[in-house]
Structure 1
Amino acid sequence: MKNKLTYILCCLLQLCFLTSHAQEAVTTDVAPGIKKISTGVIDKLTPYSFCEEKPLTDALAKLPAAKLPFDVNAIRVNITDRGVLVEIPLDDTEQLYGFGLQIGSFNQRGLRKKPIVNDNPSADLGYTHAPTTFYVSNKGYGILVNTTRYTTFYCGTTAKNNGAAVVKNNTGGNSVDELYKNKDNGSGNVSVDVPGAKGIEIYVFEGPDLLNVLQRYNLFSGGGALPAMWGLGVKYRVKADFSQQQVGKMAAYFRANHIPCDVLGLEPRWQTAAYSCSYVWNNQFFPSPNEFIDTMKNKGFHINLWEHAFVSPKSPLYEPLKTKSGDYLVWNGLVPDFADPSARKLFADYHQETFVKHGISGFKMDECDNSNLTTGNSTWSFPEHSRFPSGLDGEQMHQVFGLLYQKTVYNIYKTLNLRTFLDVRASSSFASSYPAALYSDTYEHDEYIRMIVNSGFSGLIWSPEVRESKSIKDFMRRSQTAVLSAQTLYNSWYLQNPPWLQIDRDKNNKNELMPEAKQVEADVRTLLNFRMSLVPYLYRAFADYRLKGIPPFRALVVDYPQDKNTFDISDEYMIGQNILAAPLTEAADERKVYLPAGNWYDFNTNQKFEGGKSYTIKPSYTQLPIFIKEGTILPLAKPVEFITPDTKFEINCKVYGANPVSTSLFEDDGITFNFQTGSYNNVELSYMNNKGSVKRSGGFKKQRYVVKGWEVIK
């Protein structure tokens, strides 16, 4: 009897403990339109704890006032011996998006998502190179669960047993197909399961609309990234085993054939050891690296170095980092504890003195995701039970390793007042301010397009790089998508020649060029020239990302959240304020395009289309599948082969419609952070009474843009 009473007492005490924790949740206003719910014992190291950029509160305060579609107190948090369960209200008509760089799904309503970092994202599980525990609703709010732990979101898929029987008529027959279908909605909430947590922070981002939610998230993260202007040009990665001389020949090929290129990326062989990394120049392949960097710079090329963060015993960094790394090795190399500021400093200081101060403009940060969790033989990375001196375990470190790697490298450039544009294979929440384009070893074209669209929901930048292709059609359609993305990148790390000269990998490496190689080269040149024409427009879009939090690439539902036709469109997206892109894959020569409300112009034909309808387009390989919103003044530059701080862009403005809205260009030096102290101009472009005008205001003393002409399209 005594044991039974003791058991009952323990149960009651546990119930009181759980109830008290549910009641102890504290809601605070942390920035205009942003609330934080806190309860329990919160992990010391969370995604937001690593965010050094302060919220841009002035910009946040300028957003329209908002109100959640539910009472914030309706968000329930329960702490149990399993971990934390969060339940967020959800109505039957809501559409949900986000969870990072999702590859296999777009509208997340009705799915179970587990956003986990993984080197080979697959299906719609949630595995991705860049997981975020952040989702948004078309009803005008966003939820971020601030944890590094593996977390599962049930997006309106669960129904609780409340004791009352629910009987529904079976009108669909008794076939096996009908029996296995589940057409019921969930119980009116998103359930978030965070095993192992003893407390939690939840950030709630208010609208009033979906675009404002994303603005608040990006501005709270410190503002969106503004890459160096040259980063918006063209990047080409050479073959992994190219020598200094071979890279020089490739550079000469670009300039001799007038193919735009700003960045040449070196792959693993530049180092004395690559798996794990030495971070030491291989003198057999690069006998005079600093002279090489200077020579390339004089020809207008920036040099980007491939590496990963696993430190070889051959590296000068090995001994200093030995006690500041995890307890497991990867490729016999140390895993630096980037959650420790002193470990980050050691890694950064070495890179600054050895590479950045000698002119290296950026890095490709590879392998910072996890081994493929969907196969049993993928075991290269550190295990989840690893321990790090900072206190993170392997699971938590995996979720933020790419984020912290970016932070480590980006801060080198920020300290030197230099902007960059990096490559990275993993990221996480609150990464908006990092100018790092994600990439993947996967290569499905339709998925690459979907990742452009999904990136805008989570403050991420995605690069749908081009490698070899199965046909010329495949290659050209991929090239179009690359031109219409945040970073135009050709990755030839296993190709002897540019892929436009030979799309077949084996023949390429045997120097067997295609008979039509020169024609394909000319078509690629046309596409890349358009990319260079678009740089001033893109630079303005990224400035809006930095200063206003507006994603430069985003799904149609962001701008048109009430239009049901946009809810599931994952292969069209907005670029900046006024361009709608609808890329094609090699699967067909034509496609349907839905145009939202308003009037739109086909960029290639100038034909005007009424919005709210779908149309079929059939662009050629050199015609970009884009539409321009009526009322747009589109500034297009005369193409240049590369961008320098002294480059002046000659602008021709295309005016769409009779009543154009004034637009502006962002003008600064393109390479420093001086814009943060006012050294930039707004170059306002207006067209009234059949006449264009340019008005420049701001603190930048030079002129990057010269408007040469105006073309009216009615």
Structure 2
Amino acid sequence: MKGGTIVKLIATHSGTDGVRLETTEGIMHIAMYTPGIARIRYTLNAELSGKESLMVVNHPEAESVEWKVTEQTSHLEISTALLTIQVDKETCAFSYRDAVGALLTREPSRGGKTLERTEVYHTVFDASADTVETGQGADGLRARAEGVNRRLDREAFHTKLEFEWQEDEALYGLGSHEEGMMNLRGQQQYLYQQNMKAVVPVLVSTRGYGILVDSGSYMTFHDDAFGSYLWSDADEDMDYYFIYGPEFDQITAGIRYLTGEAPMLPKWSFGYVQSKERYISQAELIATVQEYRERSLPLDCIVLDWQSWTGNLWGQKTFDPERFPDPSQMMDSLHAMNAKLMVSIWPIMGAGGANHEEMKERGFLLGNQATYDAFQEEARELYWKQANDGLFSHGVDAWWCDCTEPFEADWKGAVKPEPEQRLLINTSESKRYLDPGLINAYSMQHSKGIYEGQRAATSEKRVVNLTRSAFAGQHRYGTITWSGDIAANWETLRKQIADGLNFCLTGSPYWTLDIGAFFVKKMKEQWFCNGDYDEGVADLGYRELYVRWFQLGAFLPMFRSHGTDTPREVWQFGEEGELMYDTLVKYLKLRYKLMPYIYSLAGAVAHRSYTLFRALAFDYREDVQVHSIGDQFMFGPAFMAAPVTEAMYYGPGSRELEGICKQRSVYLPAGEWYDYWSDERIEGGQTIETKADLETLPLFVRAGSIVPLGPEVQYTDEQPDAVISLKVYGGKDVSFTLYEDEGDNYNYEHGYYSMILMTWSEADRTLTIGKRAGGYAGMQAVRAFAVEIAGQAGSCMVTYEGEAVTVREADLG
């Protein structure tokens, strides 16, 4: 049923009490959380449900927001200083307008909110072991139980929220999927958790607003012949937030205001992370790190993938004593080489292990008698205790929470099921064990348990949790989401860029992928093993693809290589003096050179709700030329990268390609740009052809940028007292804040960090390094800066003692 006609208006002026509309078809409620954020709820019941939200944090200060209700002949207006919601009295159709009355978006004139009652069932299981089928596939251990009965749990609603989007409007968000859609206009998407789907129910529009739907059920998005709407499967009420920006940074800040801020990740997590399926022993882990150090190749973390446990005790959170005879000594050895260890842990546990038995005895397993119930607080606490006792207590630094969509069921067979089949297969399997209204939220609760457990154990190590699924607000638990087990081909590389950009547009700032893809080879009997390179790293075609993927990875929030089928260490791609090897080393070292810039932006993520990995619409929202560009992006405020996503040298089987121009087209938005490699100054507002040979990732710097650069190091914190180069790209006034803290504890939450505001004046051609604000233990009281200006010869050394210093262009030697 739709909203109907308003029969009674009840308005209070105590903030989130808001406006209650009693209609011929249910109750609507509008509350203003900030001048730019409205919460809208709708039910056919006598009262709203009062459900507890998993994604939205409490904001009691919202009660101080000033708003008013104005009654017009045909409609009501609920207004703040930034946002007006108009409600048609006859149909309850909503229109959203900014402070000057410009239309942002609206519902169809007949009304855009539909509720349909639906029955929600839960499955009753026989807990005996002989009713559970277990087996191991490409995606790890799976356990399945047939229910003995289905019982009615409650009544809920299918919800449908319709819009009439504007002709020039682009839409983004919904999480990270596998289709490579950038602009979602004219598309459809299914929102359920699966190996290569990480769901965040957020839309962001170039008209200057965002929509956050507070639903844990599976959803669908349509902007096609079937309509323009968001649909959810099982909700207690329709419950969503309208967030006005108009700029994307303001919208994502609004999303994080609602769902929680992203904490600081440790500095080392922005360095290079070496992973593969899999390092099998303590000796191999240590030897690999030693090789990186001997070759003077930067590295900050190595990853221990699945099966750290003994034998077939899948998911047991302890080290196999034969392959890892002394875990504490292993961690001491890795730490002595200034390397961290990330360990893979799973929510599913095989029978026979102590962790499984303890969970079972406490009644903390779901119906398959293998996956723990992350929605129970006590179960989360026990899961953390097991991880702490078996792994963290030995010195493990970070978590890889794999398979956090534990009930996917379509990773089998030679033919990939059709999208609608996959939707039914996976959601039916999830609803067998989880509440249908919460099947998208498992990863959130799993992440919560890890974060709260580690925070309670120590404040000396920041939580890092690499996880395959996502949900709105999960970022507040120190998570980085990766895109799943993708296949090695150029099409996948190209699509992944848009997938990641859309993920970060939902307000979740940390996303990454498997550099080089997980599956490199093709297996006809498994549809997902769809790589193009059966010879693995021996194939020059794969080496070229890997180099291009590595170049992209150097400009992602987490820089991590991973996959199966073939080795991944840098030296597997050649030796010093060879093109492939030398190019990998070039971008590996560039990542570390940029560390002062990257870590400063990580500070901005935590302290200013910033987004590091940015679709062009973040900075050029009104330029329609950028709306559908899914293979270029901003990396912070200064850099624009345009990765190469097609083969130029070799095809599969080391087949040499001929006649291919080593260039690519790049769109430069309006303004001036610098080619990073040459400092050539280029006018924007045009598409150019630029050099793109194997050594060259097309990389541009926006005129009006200050980029702090560090020395050549082997790990992120090797030279804390080193000279920091400040490279100014002139052309307009600009400022940049250099952020520093202790790097790997939570003292920054208590104000222990420093910020130095740096300002470039184009008119005066001067750089002012401002007075340092704040401080922390171990801070370099005296710093050396080397100032240079792009396109100008020479530099100027500055001794900085915390007070403001001005450098003029004439001071450059």
TM interval, shorter chain, is 0.7 to 0.9
Say if 1:564 and 1:546 are closer, same or farther in 2 by CA, change over 3 A. Answer: same
> Which letter does structure 2 place at the counterpart of 1:651?
I
> Among residues 367, 383, 387, which one is paired with 2:429 in the alignment?
383
SS of 2:399's equivalent in the other structure is strand
The answer as to whether partners of 2:192 and 2:427 remain within 8 angstroms in 1 is: no
> Match for residue 8 of structure 1?
none
Task: Identify the match of residue 388 of structure 2 among 352, 358, 383.
Answer: 352
Q: Does 1:308 align with 2:313?
A: no
Is 2:94 the partner of 1:34? no
- Return 422-431 or 486-495, whichever deviates more: 486-495
Tell me the equivalent position of 2:101.
Answer: none
Residues 420, 671 of structure 1: 8 Å contact kept? no
Secondary structure, in 3 states, of the residue corresponding to 1:114? strand
Partner SS state of residue 285, structure 2: helix
Q: Relative to 1, partners in 2 of residues 1:362 and 1:441: Cα closer, same or farther, differing over 3 Å?
A: same
**1:411: how far off?**
2.1
Match of 2:513 in 1: 464
Amino acid at match of 1:131: V
Which residue of the partner structure matches residue 750 of structure 2? 677
The one-character-per-residue Cα deviations of 1:579-627 (angstroms, maximum 9, x if unpaired) are: 1111112434321111112111010011111111111112343434221
The more displaced of 145-154 and 409-418 is 409-418
Deviations 1:530-560 (A, max 9, x none): 1011111111222222222221111101221
Identity of aligned residues (%): 21
Matched, 1:708 2:780: no
Tell me, yes or no, if structure 1 residue 151 matches structure 2 residue 219.
yes
Aligned match of 1:258: 296
Equivalent pair of 2:752/2:775 in contact (CA under 8 Å): yes
Conserved? CA contact 2:274–2:569, under 8 Å: no
8 A contact 1:101–1:458 mirrored in 2: no
User: Does the Cα contact within 8 Å between 1:55 and 1:219 map onto a contact in 2?
Assistant: no
1: CA distance, partners of 2:638 / 2:372 = 44
Aligned to 2:610: 550
Give the counterpart of 1:639 among 689, 712, 715: 712
- Per-residue CA deviation, residues 105-155 of structure 1 (Å, 9 max, x unaligned), is 111112222211122x4xxxxxx2x11221111111111221111212222
**Paired position in structure 2 for 1:423:** 466
- Between structures 1 and 2, the one with greater strand share: 2
Could you tell me how far apart the structure 1 residues matched to 2:85 and 2:248 are?
12
The structural deviation recorded for 1:45 is: 6.7
Q: For residues 348-368 of structure 1, give each alpha carbon's deviation from its aligned partner in whole angstroms, at most 9, with x where no partner exists.
A: 122223322331111111112
2:801 corresponds in structure 1 to none
The residue number in structure 1 matching 2:810 is none
* Alignment correspondent of 1:585: 645
| Residue number in structure 1 paired with 2:16 | none
- Alignment of 1:86 with 2:161, yes or no, is yes
Sort the Cα spacing of 1:215 and 1:703 in 2 relative to 1 into closer, same or farther, 3 A.
Answer: same
Please name the residue that 1:343 is paired with: 379
Structure 1 stretch displaced more, 619-628 or 208-217: 619-628
State the Cα distance separating 1:382 from its structure 2 match: 8.8
- Matching of residues 167-566 of structure 1 within 5 Å: 190-273=228-311, 276-322=314-360, 323-329=362-368, 334-369=370-405, 370-371=407-408, 373=410, 375=417, 383-387=429-433, 392-393=434-435, 395-415=436-456, 416-417=458-459, 418-439=461-482, 440-443=484-487, 444-460=492-508, 461-467=510-516, 470-491=541-562, 494-495=565-566, 497-502=567-572, 519-566=579-626
Partners of 2:756 and 2:485 in 1: how far apart? 40
C-alpha displacement of 1:285: 0.2
The answer as to whether partners of 1:501 and 1:517 remain within 8 angstroms in 2 is: no
What amino acid maps onto 2:481 in structure 1? Answer: L
Within the alignment, does 1:140 sit opposite 2:208 as a pair? yes
Q: Which moved more, 1:596-605 or 1:95-104?
A: 95-104
| Alpha-carbon distance in 2 for matches of 1:347, 1:356 | 12
Match of 2:28 in 1: 25
Q: Which deviates further from its counterpart, 315-324 or 89-98?
A: 315-324
Amino acid paired to 1:434: Y
CA contact (8 A) 1:631 1:658 kept: yes
> How far 1:486 sits from its partner (Å)?
0.8
Quick one: which amino acid aligns to residue 456 of structure 1? C
Task: Output one character per residue of 1:515-543: Cα deviation in whole Å (capped at 9) or x when no partner.
Answer: 78865333322211110111111112222
Deviations 1:390-448 (A, max 9, x none): xx42x445412222222221223333222133211111122232332222211321122
In structure 1, what is the Cα distance between the partners aligned to 2:229 and 2:276?
46
For 1:670-709, what per-residue CA distance to the aligned partner results, in whole angstroms no more than 9, with x for missing partners? 1112212211111222345565443311142543593431
CA contact (8 A) 2:710 2:723 kept: yes
Residues 452 and 485, structure 1, Cα contact 8 Å, conserved in 2? no
Cα distance in 2 between the residues matched to 1:234 and 1:45: 42
1:49 aligns with 54
Question: Is 2:199 the counterpart of 1:99?
Answer: no
- Which whole-Å CA distance do the structure 2 matches of 1:85 and 1:687 have between them? 50
If asked which structure has higher relative contact order (CA below 8 Å, sep 6+), I would say 1
What residue ranges of structure 1 are gaps of 5+ in the alignment?
1-12, 122-127, 159-185, 504-513
1:269 is paired with a residue of what secondary structure? coil
1:14-35: CA deviation from partner (whole Å, max 9, x where unpaired): xx9x995744111112244211
Partner amino acid for 1:243?
S
Q: Secondary structure at the match of 1:268?
A: coil
Structure 1 equivalent of residue 82 of structure 2: 66
Per the alignment, do residues 648 and 65 of structure 1 end up closer, same or farther by CA in structure 2, a change over 3 Å counting?
farther
Higher deviation after alignment, 74-83 or 426-435: 74-83
Q: Deviations over 1:38-74 (max 9, x none)?
A: 222667777x42556879989x99xx96336866844
Aligned partners of 1:454 and 1:555 also within 8 Å:
yes
What's the offset of the Cα at 1:100?
A: 0.8
Equivalent-residue separation in structure 2 for 1:21 and 1:576 (angstroms):
50
Contact persistence 1:648–1:703 (CA under 8 A) = no
Shift of 1:264: 0.8
Instruction: Check conservation: 2:212, 2:255, Cα contact below 8 A.
Output: no
Whole-angstrom distance in 1 between the partners of 2:604 and 2:554: 20
Residues 544, 647 of structure 2: 8 Å contact kept: no
Q: Is the 8 A contact 1:278 1:314 kept in 2?
A: no
* Matched residue, 1:5: none
Q: Structure 2 counterpart of 1:711, which letter? A: E
Amino acid at match of 1:49: L
Match for residue 728 of structure 2?
Answer: 655
Conservation of the 8 A alpha-carbon contact between 2:233 and 2:437? no
CA separation of 1:279 and 1:641: change in aligned 2, threshold 3 A: same
| 1:570 corresponds to 2:630 | yes
SS at match of 1:312: coil
* CA contact 1:279–1:315 (8 Å) conserved in 2: no
Partner secondary structure for residue 403 of structure 1:
helix
Deviations along 1:307-337, one digit per CA (max 9) or x if unpaired, are 21102223333233225445432xxx62111
Q: Give the aligned partner of residue 606 of structure 1.
A: 679
Alignment counterpart, residue 131 of structure 1, candidates 199, 205, 209:
199
Q: 1:550/1:591 Cα in 2 relative to 1: closer, same or farther (>3 Å)?
A: same
- Whole-angstrom distance in 2 between the partners of 1:547 and 1:22: 44
8 Å CA contact 2:708–2:724 kept in 1: the answer is yes
Q: Please give the alpha-carbon distance, in whole angstroms, between the structure 2 residues aligned to 1:437 and 1:712.
A: 35
